[in-house]
Homo-oligomer: A and B are copies of this chain.
């Protein structure tokens, strides 16, 4: 049976986002989960399932369960993978809730990605994939390098400009200025962007997401149960994850198109909506370029026109499709994906304050579109009755 609108997000929680949390990932996880439970109006012992994902920093679901006093979880998931699986975790857990494996499952991600395991650090490959043996000897193995190569290909092929990358960064910082959770709230303009120091050509410092200590928790239950809880339920209309082409696959015909292009039709079919129905989109923004390519691959604009689309202002708060309304990973913080879901839920509940998109009913939230691991994942969420 299709998952469409059968499972709801009943609670959301997060810790402060910082450069140095001063506490363990276990503490971060439990704090975010307690906040999500409080948001839903549920006690900790209601929880009977835990789901997370890992690369680098992590904390085992069993240890989190013990810390919360959940003696006998009926469901757990500890998915290996980084940003690309962040939304797959929610999709997987939703299947378990729908099948009655567990009633209240929390999806969380906790990491000290600035003060401990730095995701963008050099020195070792992030993923121990077979492929890295061909890349590591050349010193090519961290995300800024990998995405830079894809961005350059897009610029060569479609004429995407540095200024267009810059418009992503400038626009998201303007949103972050309206977001009390954001780590970086001081606005900058295109000149500031262009003057920021190079990291990996064509990326400057302001093209790159933050490295963050923090945690996010997303509480799932059935849509029926969610009706009786404290907050406006947000249902999972569509969940899709898949795509099998890494950036250097022989079967990848074109490095300027991501796995999201394959995944998007399935996602929207499950949800029963199309890109035009989406009121607000949180698109995985490890780098500015990722937003541009996803605007194309999820169908908000034709292939190759992501750059001009952003330049037109369409993705701003008052545009046709507001994107990364919290400032995204570039300005709010990088909690590896789930902070996009948090913001999407906030918007659909009408709780986004000064950055609220009026009347938002349908939201898209996406994970990394599949360069490194070959996978992508995404959710279509809807304000539920």
Contact = CB atoms under 8 A, between A and B. Distances in A.
Interface of A: 1-3, 24-26, 49-50, 54, 58-63, 65-66, 69-81, 85, 88, 91-92, 95-96, 98-102, 127-131, 240-246, 249-251, 262, 266, 373-375
Contact of A250 (B1, B60, B66, B244): B66
A68 to B, nearest CB: 9
Given A3-B99, A99-B95, A374 B80 contact: no
Nearest to A26: B130
A293 B73 CA distance: 21
Nearest to A3: B99
A188 to B, nearest CB: 37
Contacts of A129: 60, 63
Contacts of A241: 75-76
Given A1-B99, A99-B2, A244 B62 contact: yes
B69 A251 contact: yes
A128 B65 CA distance: 17
A278 to B, nearest CB: 21
Contact of A80 (B54, B99, B131, B242): B54
Contacts of A102: 242
A70 to B, nearest CB: 6
B62 A245 contact: yes
A251 B78 contact: no
Contacts of A243: 62, 72-73
A111 to B, nearest CB: 13
Contact of A245 (B50, B66, B374, B375): B66
A78 B77 CA distance: 10
A220 to B, nearest CB: 14
Contact of A99 (B74, B98, B374, B375): B98
B75 A130 contact: no
A66 B96 contact: no
A130 B64 CA distance: 10
B95 A375 contact: no
B63 A131 contact: yes
A219 B101 CA distance: 22
Nearest to A6: B99
Most buried by B among A1, A65, A75: A65
A240 B99 CA distance: 12
A318 B50 CA distance: 41
A73 B249 CA distance: 14
Contacts of A246: 62-63, 66
A78 B85 CA distance: 9
Given A25-B130, A66-B251, A76-B241, 4 more contacts: A3-B101, A71-B245, A77-B92, A98-B99
